[in-house]
Structure 1
Amino acid sequence: MERIELDEAMLQGQAEIWRYLYSFADSMALKCAVELRIADIIHSNGGPLTLSQIASCINGGLTSPDITTLARIMRLLIRRKIFTVHHPSDGGDLLYDLTHSSRWLLHDSEQTLVPMVLMENHPLQMAPWHYFSQCVKEGGFAFKKAHGCEIWDLASRNPDFNKLFNDGLACTSKFLTSVILSSYKQGLSSIGSLVDVGGGTGGLISEIVKKHPHIKGINFDLPHVVSTAPTYDGVSHIGGDLFHAIPNADAVILKWILHCWGDEDCIKILRNCKKAIPRENGKVIIVEIILKEDGSGVFDEIGFLLDLVMIAHANGKERTEAEWKKILEGGGFSHYKIINIPALASIIEAYPDA
């Protein structure tokens, strides 16, 4: 009996390795569905379609797609519950429909992950993953080992990649901003002025000021970034370097900024944040992932995957609460509270030491 149980366990272990070995196929099938706009085709029809009907709409009907290949790709995506399939009662062709997952693959939706699917699966983004073992042996950064420069440098000299990269970040920022506005109303209501550090072209701070017009908004980023920012009512654009000084305000917000940096750099940034806000009633609002080692929440596993993305594409890391506490204390913020919101990230409200 023990031998049989051991054999079953070994067999299960082998199956698990096979599954992880080919898990990249899930990403490639997902990218294929996005590039072919399969979710959009079904959505535009207003209901389920047969495979032949989907194929006839690919590329505007100008080509004759390989339906057999399409069927095989869709078969995996159905097994992954990205799409669903219905068996008509009259015995006709199978009907393919959307699920809650594939609705995030609609190109023109307000809530879409299409730009992230395309950005993260681009060959330039995939190459650094092949350098993880070198990073372990030698140290250094995977993206730089793959391309000879950091991601920001590559983006600055490759307009197509820059657009892909910016579109990817913008799409996730859009729905996270929406969640912040709906779930953090009380935290914003008492602020007179707010500076968004690393705010890009001002998308987040402009939406905050629109919802809370009493707030004086400051969008702070590198000079070449804010120089292209549009004008928003109630928002000032200021160029500078977060490692040198941050504009004064009642509060500072950092959305997905600190995970791009190592601990020492984060402490430098936080110390500059502390200088920028009043000691009484001042606060720093950090919007980041908090890793939970044994978490079973809907997004908890994604956090650990994104920590490896940080190895591949940046020089930073995702952090547990204990790791956040360490850098907060180093930056002069020994008091904080965590506010859970319905998103991949949480909000950490940190208050300056006296």
Structure 2
Amino acid sequence: MGSIDLQLENVNEDAELLKAHAEVYNHLFAYADTLALRAAIDLRIADIIHSHGHPMSLSQIASKLESPSPDVTCLARVMRMLVRKKIFTVDYNNTSGEEIVPLYGLTTTSMWLLHDQDLSLAPMFLTFTHPWIISAWFEISRSIKEGGTPFEKAYGQSFWERAAEDPEFNTMFNTGMAAATKPALDAVVKGYKDGFSELKGTLIDVGGGIGRMIAKIVKAYPHIKGINLDLPHVVASAPQHPGVTHVGGDMFKEIPNADAIIFKSILHDWTDEHCLKILKNCKKAVSQSKGKVIIVDVILNPDGKGLFDDAVIGCDLWLMADCVGGKERTEEEWRKLLKEAGFTTLNVIRLPTIMSLSIIEAVPQ
């Protein structure tokens, strides 16, 4: 029996070693998933299939690409990866003579990648896989050893400074952020219904980009006077929205007086020290008896098993790599930060939406 037990033990050890070996290889090539999907979005493959109205062959897809001589073999290999990852479907039951012609179709996932759909995530995906953003990650190990932000080590300036100097990237980034905001807007408008209904006067969306969120809020609650506050170069490209005034400014210097202030996915871009400065400016801007701050952001759960918990951990690393000390925070960290800034956390509302966003409601102490 002893020799059999030893053999079984060796088999189990070998199986575990092989499993671990495979795990390393899967991590090694994990970037292939992301960049193959980026290529498909860049080529508008989902849009091509959607416009066609039903599944297409590789040659049909290739004929719609903006290229006089597309490489169909290369396209086939990218599609093979994306079918495996359930981005697209493939049907091998179609034949042309004796040849089997695979037909590629859309999935629920690829429907999110259509460029011209209102809830498209394509602009966000192209933004967050931009070479600028990816290359900063190569400086993470140096930042761990030396301190500092990986992006600044890569480019000698902050992400925000570089974005401000490049109008094309700035437009793409703002479009990406607006696209990321779209799926969450209805959840915010409905999830904070009582708060918005009771609000009287002015609501400022700090860091509101091109004003999409504040416009949605004002449309649903027209008694609210909306102000969209962002950097001058950002609001310069913002469209006009009924009931919303665009204001160019700097949240680190001053926030205009308001009855309430809302942030969506802004404070996670910054260190606690930066956030304290912003929140203290908020405290100066709102009534000490009736004012409030509404934070729409991620609440990190390190051991969470939810749909977006892995993505939240990944986003936390993106913030570390590309923003000036940005990070995702646990509920305890949010409460502590607000308390240090002179606010009391009244309520935390979990939203059933993208990235498991929550609404954190706070009032001056």
TM over 0.5: yes
Structure 2 residue aligned with 1:51, among 50, 55, 58? 58
Which residue does 2:5 correspond to in 1? none
Conserved? CA contact 2:291–2:364, under 8 Å:
no
Tell me if the contact between 1:255 and 1:286 (Cα under 8 Å) persists in the aligned partners. Answer: yes
Give unpaired runs (5+ residues) of structure 1.
none
Counterpart residue identity of residue 77, structure 1? L
**Contact 1:290–1:319, Cα closer than 8 Å, also in 2:** yes
- 1-side partners of 2:120 and 2:242: how far apart? 27
Q: Give the CA deviation at 1:289.
A: 1.0
Q: Which amino acid aligns with 1:352?
A: V
Match of 2:339 in 1: 329
Rounded Cα–Cα distance in structure 1 between residues aligned with 2:265 and 2:188: 13
Q: Distance in 2 between matches of 1:98 and 1:148?
A: 42
Does residue 25 (structure 1) correspond to residue 32 (structure 2)? The answer is: yes
Question: What is the one-letter code of the residue matched to 1:163?
Answer: T
Do the aligned residues in 2 keep the contact of 1:197 with 1:221 (CA within 8 Å)?
yes
Which residue of 33, 48, 51 corresponds with 1:41?
48
Within 5 Å, give how 1:206-245 maps onto structure 2: 206-245=215-254
What is the identity, as a one-letter code, of the residue corresponding to 1:285? I
Structure 1 residue 11, shift from structure 2 partner: 0.9
SS at match of 1:327: helix
Q: 1:133 — aligned with what?
A: 141
**Partner residue in 1 for 2:76:** 71
SS of the residue corresponding to residue 360 of structure 2 reads strand
Contact 2:205 2:214 in 1 (8 A): yes
User: How far is the alpha carbon of 1:224 from its aligned partner?
Assistant: 4.3
Q: How does 1:32-181 map to 2 (within 5 A)?
A: 32-59=39-66, 63-88=68-93, 92-181=100-189
Query: Percent identity among equivalent residues?
Result: 48
Find the counterpart in structure 1 of residue 357 from structure 2.
Answer: 346
Query: Is the counterpart of residue 204 in structure 1 residue 213 in structure 2?
Result: yes
The residue number in structure 2 matching 1:246 is 255
Structure 2's unaligned 5+ residue stretches are 1-7
Report the equivalent of 2:329: 319
User: Is the 8 Å Cα contact of residues 86 and 107 (structure 2) preserved in structure 1?
Assistant: yes
| Partner Cα distance (1:338, 1:353) in 2 | 16
Change (3 A) 1:44 1:232: closer
Task: Tell me which residue corresponds to 1:12.
Answer: 19
Matches of 1:89 and 1:157 in 2, distance apart? 51
SS of equivalent to 1:110: coil
- Structure 1 position 225, deviation (Å): 3.7
Shift, 1:145, TM fit: 0.6
Give the superposition deviation at 1:228: 4.8
Report the Cα distance in structure 2 between the residues aligned to 1:198 and 1:222, rounded to whole angstroms.
8
Determine if the alignment matches structure 1 residue 268 to structure 2 residue 273.
no
Letter in 1 for 2:49: I
Cα distance in 1 for partners of 2:357, 2:263 equals 12
Q: After alignment, is 195-204 or 219-228 more displaced?
A: 219-228
| CA apart distance, 1:18 | 0.5
Q: Distance in 1 between matches of 2:104 and 2:343?
A: 53
Q: Are the equivalent residues in 2 in contact too, given 1:287–1:345 (CA < 8 A)?
A: no
8 Å contact kept, 1:283–1:349: no
Q: Structure 1 residues 74 and 8 mapped into 2: Cα distance closer, same or farther (>3 Å)?
A: same
Cα 1:335–1:164, aligned 2, differ >3 Å: closer, same or farther? closer
Asked whether the 8 Å contact 2:299–2:358 carries over to 1, the reply is no
- Helix, strand or coil: the match of 1:207? helix
* Structure-2 change in CA distance of 1:211 and 1:27 (3 Å): same
CA RMSD after TM alignment: 1.9
Does the Cα contact within 8 Å between 2:178 and 2:209 map onto a contact in 1?
Answer: no
The residue aligned with 1:277 is 286
2:178 touches 2:210 (CA, 8 Å); kept in 1? no
Greater shift after overlay, 282-291 or 233-242? 233-242
State the 1:353 CA deviation.
4.3
Per-residue Cα deviation, 1:179-204 (whole angstroms, up to 9, x for no partner): 32243323311111211111233222
Counterparts of 2:93 and 2:288, CA distance in 1: 67
Once the two structures are superposed, residues 251-306 of structure 1 have per-residue CA deviations (whole angstroms, 9 ceiling, x without a partner) of: 11011110111011112212222232233443211111111111111111100000
Deviation at 1:329, TM superposition (A): 1.2
